[in-house]
């Protein structure tokens, strides 16, 4: 597996990853594109921060720089789980950014009061009166205890609820939760290497007014292994794409059901590169098919 650092070194793109997003931001005189959360008047920037190693390993220095990069360029969504709910929450409080950051928290089923008590503790750690989003990886448990999750909203402890689960094998269960009106948000995988959600899951979410956050845009680095040594096609410039990372992200964002793509990185320069995907044009349907054909040919 090739990570992004090795890929950039191999292709000589390290300088580009550092400079391109900054130049793009300056050129467009704009911050990240935003998309409306269905059923609300709230908007989320289209590029988010996943629960990266710097968050999970409590590397507060790196995590602080990542959050600074996002805040500076209009980012808002940060995915946190386990202890990172508190460490990132601490950073948000220190930066006076508790309200500015939208935090997606993982909270699996517990007895009703235990669930509420945990939410209150996390909210205090994040400096929030109510958690922005609580989602569970346990699809069956979430359905079983939906009354408890809904009570969190009714009591003003949580603003949105939902589920987070990757893998094509989970799509049917996710779609049943959507069809039954049990989720505000869904987090799942969709990318050039895993496009299956585009067939039914994403269209259903859009039809039912459910927000879609996308994880695994680079398949834990597998994507960079595939494009390693390859020159970015010239036609990528037609949709303002300046790197292979943006190539993947812009494909994902070209689906109208997608609200936000979660990118995991511990490198501020990679975060800048990712942010660049939220600027400028997106590929049309013809370009999307061309992108899929190109990546399939490299596998």
Specify the CATH number for the domain of residue 185: 3.20.20.100
**SS3 per-residue string spanning 127-161:** CCCCEEEEEECCHHHHHHCHHHHHHHHHCCCEEEE
- From the CB of residue 133, how many other CB atoms can be counted at a distance below 10 Å? 25
- From the CB of residue 158, how many other CB atoms can be counted at a distance below 10 Å? 26
- Return the half-sphere exposure (C-beta side, CA atoms, 13 A cut-off) of residue 36: 6
Q: Print the domain residue range for 111.
A: 4-298
Q: Which of 244, 211, 219 is nearest to 77 (CA)?
A: 211
How much is the pTM? Answer: 0.90
- Return the half-sphere exposure (C-beta side, CA atoms, 13 A cut-off) of residue 196: 10
Give the pLDDT of residue 10: 38
Q: Which residues of the chain have pLDDT under 70?
A: 1-30
Give the pLDDT of residue 30: 62
């Amino acid at each position: 597996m090739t990570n992004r650092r090795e890929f950039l070194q191999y292709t000589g793109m390290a300088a580009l990853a550092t400079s391109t997003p900054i130049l793009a931001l300056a050129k467009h005189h704009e911050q990240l594109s935003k998309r409306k959360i269905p059923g609300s008047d709230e908007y989320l920037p289209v590029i988010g921060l996943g629960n990266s190693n710097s968050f999970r390993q409590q590397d507060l220095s790196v995590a602080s720089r990542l959050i600074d990069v996002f805040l500076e360029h209009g980012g808002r969504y940060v995915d946190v789980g386990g202890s990172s709910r508190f460490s990132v929450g601490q950073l948000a409080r220190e930066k006076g950014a508790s309200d500015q950051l939208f935090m997606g928290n993982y909270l699996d089923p517990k007895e009703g009061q235990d669930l509420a008590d945990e939410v209150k503790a996390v909210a205090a750690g994040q400096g929030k009166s109510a958690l922005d989003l609580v989602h569970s990886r346990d699809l069956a448990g979430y359905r079983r205890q939906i009354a408890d999750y809904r009570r969190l909203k009714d009591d003003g402890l949580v603003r949105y609820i939902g589920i987070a689960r990757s893998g094509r094998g989970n799509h049917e269960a996710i779609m049943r939760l959507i069809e039954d009106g049990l989720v505000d948000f869904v987090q799942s995988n969709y990318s050039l290497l895993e496009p299956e959600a585009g067939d039914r899951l994403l269209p259903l979410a859009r039809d039912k007014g459910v927000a879609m956050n996308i994880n695994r845009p680079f398949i834990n680095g597998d994507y960079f292994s595939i494009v390693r040594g390859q020159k970015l096609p010239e036609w990528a410039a037609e949709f303002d794409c300046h790197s292979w990372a943006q190539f993947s992200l812009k494909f994902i964002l070209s689906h109208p059901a997608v609200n936000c793509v979660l990118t995991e990185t511990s490198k501020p320069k990679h975060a800048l590169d990712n942010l660049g995907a939220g600027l400028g044009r997106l590929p049309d349907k013809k370009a999307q098919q061309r992108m899929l054909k190109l990546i399939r040919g490299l596998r």
